[in-house]
Amino acid sequence: MTDHDHDHSHDRHHDHSELSELELRVRALETILTEKGYVEPAALDAIIQAYETKIGPHNGAQVVAKAWTDPAFKKALLADASEAVGTLGHVGRTGDHLVAVENTPQRHNMVVCTLCSCYPWEMLGLPPVWYKAAPYRSRAVKDPRGVLADFGITLPEDMEIRVWDSTAETRFLVLPVRPAGTEGWSEQQLAALVTRDSMIGTGFPKTPGAPS
């Protein structure tokens, strides 16, 4: 358990008097909405639970692994990602307007939302804090190499970097390059190499044999 996890679980056991002002205000709003009959607290619980347990980067990883092993699926994914992902029953239903963009040895793709926090929720879950924060949103479009350096990544100097600013309801999923040394691997084995950041374009898939 990390220190953070510890703090988090500890917070849950604070008594009422120790709750932050903000937490009290949030609770008050939920009370009002519930008393007025607008929302059922159990429905809110179910939404939270879905994002905590069901919807996350493993969804996108399955799509990437499938594209790495099935050329027809890859072609369909790049042509219309919403439709292609919709054929994968095990991933669940995906909304419209998903666009998959392929990394190649010549081109690296990176996704940002400079105006807010648009992100392919169904594929990757809720976005991490850094994706929604000013340093990434401000700099990704102007100095993507500098941003990648913050993630410990250096690309070849002549590689094209394409930054996709998610300014409408289209959502972008980066299809990373399949790692070398994975010939003959199953989809399941490959999916375990696909990281969240590799599907945003701020990271690479894990390398076979490297410590996770």
Partner 1 sequence: MNGVHDMGGMDGFGKVEPEPNEPVFHETWEGRVMAMTRAMGAAGAFNIDVSRFYRESLKPTVYMTSSYYQKWFLALQDSLVARGYINDAEVKQGHAAAPAKDLKRGPFKLDDVQRVMTRGSFARTAQGPAKFKPGDRVRAKNINPVTHTRLPRYVRGHVGVIERLHGTHVFPDTAANDAGEHPQWLYTVVFDGAELWGADGDPTVKVSIDAFEPYLELV
Give the three-state DSSP class for 112: strand
* Single residue of 76, 151, 177, 192 touching partner 1 by CB under 8 A: 151
Give the footprint of partner 1 on residues 105-124 (CB under 8 A). Answer: 112, 114-117, 121-122
Q: For residue 153, state whether it binds partner 1 (rule: CB under 8 A).
A: no
Beta carbon of residue 183, minimum distance to partner 1 (angstroms, whole number): 30
When asked if residue 103 is in the footprint of partner 1 (CB under 8 A), the reply is no
- The residues annotated as belonging to the active site are 113, 116-118
Interface size with partner 1, residues (CB under 8 A): 89
Contact between 142 and partner 1 by CB under 8 A: the answer reads yes
**Is residue 157 a contact point for partner 1 (CB under 8 A)?**
yes
Count of all residues that appear for the chain in the document: 212
Residues 14-53 binding partner 1 (CB under 8 A) are 22-33, 35-40, 42-48, 50-52
70 is an interface residue for partner 1 by CB under 8 A: no
The backbone torsions φ and ψ at residue 139, rounded to the nearest 5 degrees and listed phi first, read -100, -20
Contact 196, 205 (CB under 8 A): no
The kind and range of the H/E element at 137 are helix 134-139
Residue 74 engages partner 1 in binding (rule: CB under 8 A): no
The contacts of residue 188 (CB under 8 Å, 6+ apart) are: 65
Dist. CA 187–CA 190, nearest whole Å: 5
In contact, 175 and 110? CB cutoff 8 Å? no
Q: Which is nearer to partner 1, 3 or 183 (CB)?
A: 3
Angle at 113 between CA 111 and CA 119, to 5 degrees: 70
Tell me which of 79, 83, 133, 207 binds partner 1, using CB under 8 A: 133
The residue within the footprint of partner 1, chosen from 119, 197, 201, 205 (CB under 8 A), is 197
What is the C-alpha separation between 164 and 173, in angstroms, rounded?
Answer: 10
Residue 7 CB, shortest distance to partner 1, in Å, is 9
Q: What is the largest CA-CA distance in the chain?
A: 60
Does residue number 134 form part of the binding site for partner 1 (CB under 8 A)?
yes
